[in-house]
Amino acid sequence: MTTPNPPFPVSDLARFHEEVLGWFDDAARDLPWRRDASPWAVMVSEFMLQQTPVARVLPVYAAWLERWPTPADLAAEATGEAVRAWGRLGYPRRALRLHAAAVAIVERHGGEVPHSREELLALPGVGDYTAAAVESFAFGGRAVVLDTNVRRVFARVVSGVQFPAAGVTAAERELATTLVPVADAHRWAAATMELGALVCTARSPRCEECPVADICRWRAAGFPAYDGPARRGQAWDGTDRQCRGRLLALLRDAPGPVEKASLDAVWPDAKQRERCLDGLVADRLVEPVGDDSFALPGHRPR
């Protein structure tokens, strides 16, 4: 494990804060979860934004909050409705986990998203990142928010490497903690996230637009190439993920249970299709209905 370079000198750290926060004041996108930073709105956005671009999230997020403006509204619905409303965002187990979190919020916290890190982490589907994001963006807490974009900014500007490690290391978290300003910690989290999303991107960083290019250690070192383990892209065509998505899409669009023969028609590889259907049932994203039909979970016969 490579130890990160020491944090900035105090003067550079002050500039890092000042320049990035100033840039954010002018460059921040007008996103609905920033306009409405209520705890529930922030939690919904964070679940949806995991491994999913903002552009794909926006319409689903708007429809979700219109239909379920509070955790209690979602908790009162069948889990299958959450899966249906999730649409084509991908990784639909997130919909089940968000529904389960809403139920837990109602049962344990009177319908209000909890404030403390411990209570947030105890909710289904909430890990370190999501808990920190809710604590920071919804409650203004001084949390260390480390998503992919923030980690890449810190790796380049402070540690002088192109990409961070595959997973968050203790040294990386310790470094990020030293970078959080005393004031405006929640804005710092949002600003560094935005800088990574818009300027310090993974493939084509726009260094000429970066507010801290002149103190970036990666730039000063001549942009050394990443020398860690191979970074694998995610395949799609022909994968189980694609097959599962096809099966779920048919079930989402159907008003009721779908016969097995109709599901068989959406994917040609019978062995893979059966494996994926079994996996969806095991993950509780689909449930059998009768002898030869399937539906989203919580289906109520009409």
* pLDDT tier at 273, thresholds 50, 70, 90: very high
Residue 182 has pLDDT above 80, yes or no: yes
The structural domains of the chain, with segments of one domain joined by +, span 32-138, 144-220, 240-288
CA–CA distance, 76 with 102 (Å, rounded to integer): 9
Residue 64's nearest CA partner among 47, 46, 44 is 44
CB 64 within 8 A of CB 81: no
Residue 269 backbone dihedrals phi, psi, to 5 degrees: -80, 105
Lowest mean pLDDT among 146-160, 217-231, 268-282: 217-231
Q: Give the model's pLDDT for residue 222.
A: 96
* Fold for the domain defined by 32-138: Endonuclease III; domain 1 (1.10.340)
User: Using an 8 Å Cβ cutoff, are 126 and 108 in contact?
Assistant: no
Q: What pLDDT shows up at residue 36? A: 87
Q: Reply yes or no on whether the pLDDT at 3 is more than 70.
A: no
Counting every residue written for the chain, the total comes to: 302
pLDDT at 9: 80
Thinking of the domain 144-220, which architecture would CATH place it in?
Orthogonal Bundle (1.10)
| Bridging pattern class, strands 287-289 and 293-295 | antiparallel
Q: Are 274 and 260 in contact (CB under 8 A)?
A: no
Tell me: pLDDT of 302 over 50: no
Q: Give whole-number Cα distances, 9 to 6, 16, 41, 177, 210, in Å.
A: 9, 10, 37, 15, 20
Q: How far apart are the first and last CA of the chain?
A: 58
Average pLDDT over residues 231-241: 76
Catalytic residues: 46
pLDDT tens profile 33-64: 999 899 999 999 999 999 899 999 999 999 99
Q: For residue 32, which of 74, 62, 73 has the smallest C-alpha distance? A: 62
Range of weakest confidence among 4-8, 16-20, 163-167, 293-297: 4-8
In this prediction, residue 11 carries a pLDDT of 81
pLDDT of residue 2: 46
pLDDT band at 1 (very low <50, low <70, confident <90, very high): very low
pLDDT of residue 51: 87
Q: Which two tokens stand for residue 125?
A: 């589907």
Average confidence score pLDDT of the chain: 92
The Cα-based distances of 19 to 146, 150, 209, 296 in angstroms read 19, 15, 12, 49
| 3-class secondary structure, 86 | helix
To the question of pTM greater than 0.85 for the whole model, the response is: yes
Give pLDDT, residue 85.
Answer: 96
